[in-house]
Amino acid sequence: MTFATHTGPDLGSTPRLRAMTKPTHRTVRTNGIDMHVAEQGEGPAVVLCHGFPELWYSWRHQLPALAEAGYRAIAPDQRGYGGTDRPSAVDDYDIIHLTDDALGLLDALGEDSAVFVGHDWGAPVVWNLALRAPERVRGVVGMSVPFLPRGPMDPVQALDALFADQFFYILYFQQPGVADQDLGRDTRDTLRRFYAAISAEATAEAFRPLPREGTTLRDWLPEPGALPGWLSQADLDLYVTEFTRTGFTGGLNWYRNLKRNWERTQDLDGRKVEVPALFIAGERDPVIAMFPVAAMNEWVPDLRGTLMIPETGHWTQQERPSEVNAALLRFLSGLG
């Protein structure tokens, strides 16, 4: 079922793109929830899956570029975010729900298959989708988070042992209500710190070692002197408006399912990503320091490239849209 179609803001970055049809916005029913979707263009489907704390809007530079190149670009607010439903049960945010949302989205939009692109938390969604339903994934692009095979133990337990008495954001996010209140106390300040701290332009150290006891996320993320160049005040205002309305609980619940994800994916243990794949990340993204990018070579046999973009932080597609767009279009053109 589809309803509430309307045009969105003009996100074109050139006169030619500005002359194109603007993204349209609608709500579709998928996997038991209502999902807000931004779309632009016609042609083979490319689904763009955002991360935390982001929205469909983090793909504002990719939508028109993909549309101009002859693709149907689809950017949903994922479960728990923006205009999409936010179920109350924590268990409703595990990787099975998240990948089933993506499959239901294809059904709702009348698409048999698509290329899936995921950034940050969106990357595990698209990697796992390629494992669970390869017949519906023409290709997969992971950004910032490489493919990680299922490990031998619950990842929360592993992180708890690794960081011992040291603050680590994923562990801080585990207790329902704690981080929710911390992040929501001043939404604008939270997002300013988050976006600036792990951008290439960051001037102070994020992810610095602090004691676990008594530390909050705001303590861990330094106060930025200014917004990074890729983020305008209008961009920030849009994010702030949405997260002020929704809060952060939906996105935080994704982190609270790390143990459950491990438990529910025993059938994927040892399985490789067989579809054509691409990995993109910023060289100054602190997240890639936590994950072995080179290990993908063993687990992703049709990995067609690993692009590490210089002078780029975590918010890859927003910081370096031209480079990301060019890489996506090269990969898409090679799929036939």
Q: Encode the chain (336 residues) as per-residue pLDDT tens digits.
A: 332 333 333 333 443 443 457 999 999 999 999 999 999 999 999 999 999 999 999 999 999 999 999 999 999 999 999 999 999 999 999 999 999 999 999 999 999 999 999 999 999 999 999 999 999 999 999 999 999 999 999 999 999 999 999 999 999 999 999 999 999 999 999 999 999 999 998 866 777 889 999 999 988 898 898 999 999 999 999 999 999 999 999 999 999 999 999 999 999 999 999 999 999 999 999 999 888 899 899 999 999 999 999 999 999 999 999 999 999 999 999 997
CA distance 209 to 186: 23
Q: Is 50 a catalytic residue?
A: no
The pTM of this model reads 0.93
Among residues 120, 165, 189, 269, the one annotated as catalytic is 120
Q: Is 120 a catalytic residue?
A: yes
- Tokens for 322, please give them: 């031209």
CA distance 119 to 327: 14
Cα dihedral 237/286/11/33 (nearest 10): -80
CATH code, 300 = 3.40.50.1820
Using CA atoms, how far residue 12 sits from 20, 61, 119, 133, in Å, is 8, 7, 21, 33
CA distance 257 to 270: 21
Are the CB atoms for 308 and 322 separated by under 8 Å? no
Counted domains in the chain: 1
Structural domain harbouring 40: 2-333
